[in-house]
Structure 1
Amino acid sequence: MKKYGFGVDVGGTTCKIGLFDMSGVILEKWEIKTNTENNGASILDDVAASVLGKMEEKNIDKEDVQGIGLGVPGPVDNEGVVHKCVNLGWDVVNVEKELEEKTGLLVKAGNDANVAALGEMWQGGGKGYQNVVMVTLGTGVGGGIIVGGKIIAGANGAGGELGHIHMDDEETECCGCGRKGCLEQYASATGIVRMAKKKLQTETRTTKLTAFDPLTAKDIFDVAKEGDEVALELVDKLCTVLGTALANVAGVVDPEVFVIGGGVSRAGDILIEGIQKKYSEIVFQACRETKVTLATLGNDAGMYGCVKLLF
């Protein structure tokens, strides 16, 4: 029985690396800089050096290591090939093959949002369930779909791109993807701030939101919790749009639980209760009792999911 596994969550700024035992306990975690110079040519070399260095430091033999799970911010196909990863500068790279050659260890790779969902299912907010949809509310909206304990990556590795579900035909502004009316234009941290700025241009009621410069998503939720009418309407809009999107997702994959993570999730109950209320009102009857809950692993979710990939 192998004793250890490494989880490596590659981000645009840093790579988060964790040493785990195979029951899912994190023994040590650290970060290295993600060197995106020269189209990210040295990233896998740096990861290999860090992992092998830790094994030497801890006197861990290769025979005792299950492998390395790798999460990357882009689509990954079933052969471990990344198809364009703009944040890292990669075009088409077989990350599994290359990292295996550099380390002599088994490597399994997946999209970062998908592996975060897997981590939350294994040891986080979705623990105890096999059918989980994770939604990450940050600068944008990410997602991961797990059915029967397995990630649904899809034919192009784009399964779980929940942020680009179309929500509004009347939207005039463009999403980062180039289209208009995507979920992340309303349900992300930048989305709710965008809605607030638009609303405040014509708002005649007194609101505390005008006091903030710059205005953040946290400010909007904090003021809403104090009972500010305008802020409450903005939070309601976010929850309505997100609850509607999740109701549509439930009609396709019928999860046992929706796990909400990312920076916006720190708003807590006001967010979860709002999403649950709208979701329950409009979802197909058979899916009405599906739970909406908070993620619990924070920034470590990707590392946990990477290790779970090795199973």
Structure 2
Amino acid sequence: MSNKVKTVLAVDLGGTKLLIGEVTKNGEILNKKKFFSDVTSQERALNSIKEAIVTYWNNGCIGEVIAIGISAVGRINIQDATWYEINPKISEPINLRTELKDITKLPIFAANDVNCATIAEKILGDGKNVDDFIYINFGTGIAAGIVQGKKLLFGSTYNSGEVGHMVVDYDSSTQCICGRYGCVEPLASGLGISERAKELIDKYPSTNLKEDQNGRIGLPELIKAYEDNDPIAQTVLNRATQAAACLIMNLVYTTDPKKVILGGGMLNGGWFIKHIKEYLNDEAMRFVTDGLEVTNLNPNEIALKGAAMLALKEGKV
């Protein structure tokens, strides 16, 4: 019998990077490595996952690995680990268990990134003592995990939680990739606020806002400009925080949670949640008795830990 601690080899596949590491049942990451990822197709993304697992496995594991847990962008069947799509335009269904089983011969479990983050929150974070809560991720995009009666909701087609496509402004001229106008994601996500700011630059030639080398205008730059009374930053961020608050209140009325937990890169520094709270209605939030808060889990590791917890629970979350 091995004296090594039992671990899960967890994988978190993002848009540009892949994180792989061994995670214990307590959520401790014993070791982790970062790889580049390619999600321009599911086949390329699958190859990124395979390469990471093979490389890590061949270099030797610290603990006794008992399962593989995978977090990936897109829509995933938690029951059989079929990865249906990265997004509606990149849809090449792949069964991750079938494709990866021969590498380690270990059981494989998979869910999408925000569901994995919610699982981590449910087992390791501030959701562990709450039967009903919402985890909302504000990052490049916007999505949520909804826990009701201690169970994470996945939906009939494993598409639950795509709240970025909830309309919060019916008068908006901003069109979402889904085709509708006024969705919260293009108004309040990291990518969305960058695009909205870029649209206004020609209108305000005196602004100091500029695109970075990746063609983006980041939240830190917008916040600094906001405090300097830049009209672009104030227009974009006031609209973003109002839209985010509207989303939160809509979800509160829909699901009646005891707690709302926010995560993702947009929450760094505390500015975003502070200004969201200015738009929250007391009547809407009166039954959220455990409050609105930012996750205490590391945003760079939360999905990795959630993938590990998913595997340890054998998909029963």
| TM-score (ref. length: structure 2) | 0.81
Return the alpha-carbon distance in structure 2 between the equivalents of residues 72 and 84 of structure 1: 10
Structure 1 residues 165-180: aligned runs within 5 Å: 165-180=166-181
Relative to structure 2, which stretch is displaced further, 117-126 or 11-20?
A: 117-126
Q: What secondary structure is seen at the aligned counterpart in 1 of 2:178?
A: coil
Aligned partner of 2:276 in structure 1 is 275
RMSD between aligned alpha carbons? 3.1
One-letter amino acid of the structure 1 residue matched with residue 51 of structure 2: D
The CA distance in 2 between the partners of 1:174 and 1:38, in whole Å, is: 26
Q: Aligned ranges for residues 57-206 of structure 1 at < 5 Å?
A: 57-58=61-62, 60=63, 64-77=64-77, 78-86=79-87, 91-124=92-125, 126=127, 128-197=129-198
Contact 2:20/2:53 (<8 A) preserved? no
**Deviation of the 1:282 alpha carbon:** 5.1
Using the alignment, how far apart are the partners of 1:211 and 1:136 within structure 2?
A: 29
Question: Identity of counterpart residues, as a percentage?
Answer: 24
**Which secondary structure does the structure 1 equivalent of 2:226 belong to?**
helix
Structure 1: distance between partners of 2:275 and 2:153: 27
Q: Is the aligned partner of 1:245 residue 2:254?
A: no
Question: What is the aligned counterpart of 1:14 among 17, 26, 35?
Answer: 17
SS in 1 for 2:159: coil
1:117 CA drift (Å): 2.1
Q: Which residue of 1 aligns with 2:210?
A: 213
Aligned to 1:52: 57
Which amino acid is the alignment partner of residue 168 of structure 2? M
In terms of fraction of residues, the more helix-rich structure is 1
Shift of 1:235: 2.9
Cα distance, 1:228 vs structure 2: 5.8
Q: Deviations for 1:219-269, whole angstroms, at most 9, x for unmatched residues?
A: 22123345667644543322221111111111222223322222221241x
Q: Is the 8 A contact 1:120 1:297 kept in 2?
A: no
CA 1:22 to 1:286, structure 2 compared with 1: closer, same or farther past 3 Å? closer
Distance 1:294 1:45, change over 3 A: closer
8 Å Cα contact 1:12-1:87 kept in structure 2:
no
Tell me the SS of whatever aligns to 1:299.
coil
Structure 2: gaps of 5 or more residues? 212-216
| 2:122/2:128 contact within 8 Å kept | yes
Cα distance in 1 for partners of 2:283, 2:275 equals: 13
| C-alpha distance in 2 between matches for 1:12 and 1:216 | 17
Q: Contact 2:76 / 2:85 at 8 angstroms: preserved in 1?
A: no
Which one is further off, 276-285 or 23-32? 276-285
Contact kept in structure 2, 1:165 and 1:182, CA below 8 Å: yes
Q: How far apart, CA to CA, are the structure 2 residues paired with 1:292 and 1:201?
A: 37
Q: Distance in 2 between matches of 1:47 and 1:123?
A: 25
